[in-house]
Each structure stands twice: as structure tokens, then as C-alpha cells.
A = this chain, B = another copy of it.
Amino acid sequence: MNEDPLEFVDPETTQDEILIATYRALSKYGYAELTISKIGDEFDKSPSLIYHHYEDKEALIFDCLEFMLEHFEASLVETTIEDPNEALINFLEVGMCLGPDEPDQLIRTLTQLRARASHNDFYEHFSRSDRVFQDHLEMIISEGIEEGKFQDCDPEQVATMLFTTLTGILYRRTTSDIEGGIAPLRTELTHYLESRLGINSEVEIDSNKGFYTK
């Protein structure tokens, strides 16, 4: 998620502008280092407006995540899957930071908030967010089967497995040193995709193309 997913968003209200500024500040500094003053630096209007809209950092971050998820969901409506194979690999690589780049501060923040999700509002957010991503994966797989490009399988089941493994990769990458790095995981994911969908997943990825891009 190294591209800016909100690059093409046209903010409709001051609140939208605040949330976009929050996203940018979060990506730079992460949760612990985030301050209203740093958000103010990313914001074209007076920082005092932020205090007018939000009581604390947590409420601001919560709305920021919801805003991003809604934007992602809306962008899916406009998405046409031209090549399911490419769409799948693109999702795995770009969407879940499977590439060589280190997960950024935003991803670290998501890990931290998620870990606290068992006892607050974020539980609902992450349950819904998981469903959105997983449903998108399921749609790509169904499309691939329909077009005869993937072998038959249970798309929901395979999407659940893929999404869970990717979540595990991201979680481990942000919280520990994975012995042997990410290479063995890519190889095993390739094996799984071959055995389950009958595809060769060693597709060229345009790393400038994220699933947020129009």
C-alpha cells in the first residue's frame, strides 16, 4: 500500500479534508507519534478546526479508517476485472504488501489498533474491513472460474484461506523478524494457487498499480 489511496479523492467537506490529512500524517509517523499538530501540517485550513470536529486521536483515527474503507468499497463498484489472474496477483502483491518494501507506518498502526480490537469499537471495523477485502478476493476467484481461467473450487473458502495467510504475513512482518524473509512464503503461496486454482501465479506486477488506483 505504498501508493496514496486517497490521491484521487475529492474531499466534499472539511471533515473529509481532516480525515485525508490524518491518513497522510498516520502514514508518515504511525500511531504513537501522531499528534494533532502533525495532522495540522497536512491540512490546508486552520488546525483549530480539527479540535472542533474531534475530541481525541482515537476517534479521529477510527473515522479515518472508516473513511478509507468506504472509499475502497466505492472504488470497487467502478472496478471491472479484465484479467482475473492479474487481478489476483495484484491484490496479493500490492494490497497486502507482499512485495519487498517494508510495511509502512499505516500498516503498523493497523496492527496496533487491531490488537486492541477485542475490546473496543475497532472490532466491528476490522470485521467489516476483513469482509470487504475477502469478498473482493472471492469475486476475482469466481470471475476466474467463470471465464475458465481458474480450475473449479469453492471461491469463498479459497478467499478465506488466502486472506488469512496474507493477514498472518503482514502481522508477522510488523511484529517479528521472519527467518528466511518473505521468499519462502511467496513460493508456498504460488504452490497453493497452482494446486487450488491451476494457475501459474508468477505474473509480472506493475508495482505502480494498486487496487486503489483508478
Measured CB to CB, the residues of A under 8 A from B are 32, 108, 111-112, 114-119, 122-123, 126-127, 129-131, 134, 154, 156-158, 160-161, 164-169, 171-172, 174-180, 184-185, 187-189, 191-192, 195-196
For residue A111, which residues in chain B have a CB less than 8 angstroms away from its CB? 115, 118
For residue A168, which residues in chain B have a CB less than 8 angstroms away from its CB? 164-169, 171
- The chain B residue with its CB closest to the CB of A160 is B184
Q: A115-B116, A164-B169, A164-B172 are in contact. List 14 more A-B contacts (CB 8 A).
A: A32-B119, A112-B115, A114-B171, A117-B176, A123-B177, A126-B176, A129-B176, A130-B176, A131-B179, A157-B187, A160-B178, A160-B185, A161-B189, A164-B165
Tell me the interface secondary structure of chain A in the complex.
helix
Docked Cα-Cα span, A131 to B122, in Å, equals 30
Flag if B157 contacts A167 (CB, 8 Å): no
Nearest CB of chain B from residue A185's CB, rounded to whole Å: 6
Docked Cα-Cα span, A196 to B179, in Å, equals 21
Flag if B161 contacts A185 (CB, 8 Å): yes
Docked Cα-Cα span, A129 to B177, in Å, equals 10
Cβ-neighbour of A112 out of B116, B122, B154, B176 (below 8 A): B116
Docked Cα-Cα span, A3 to B31, in Å, equals 36
Nearest CB of chain B from residue A182's CB, rounded to whole Å: 9
Nearest CB of chain B from residue A2's CB, rounded to whole Å: 18
For residue A115, which residues in chain B have a CB less than 8 angstroms away from its CB? 111-112, 114-116, 174-175
- The chain B residue with its CB closest to the CB of A32 is B119
For residue A131, which residues in chain B have a CB less than 8 angstroms away from its CB? 179
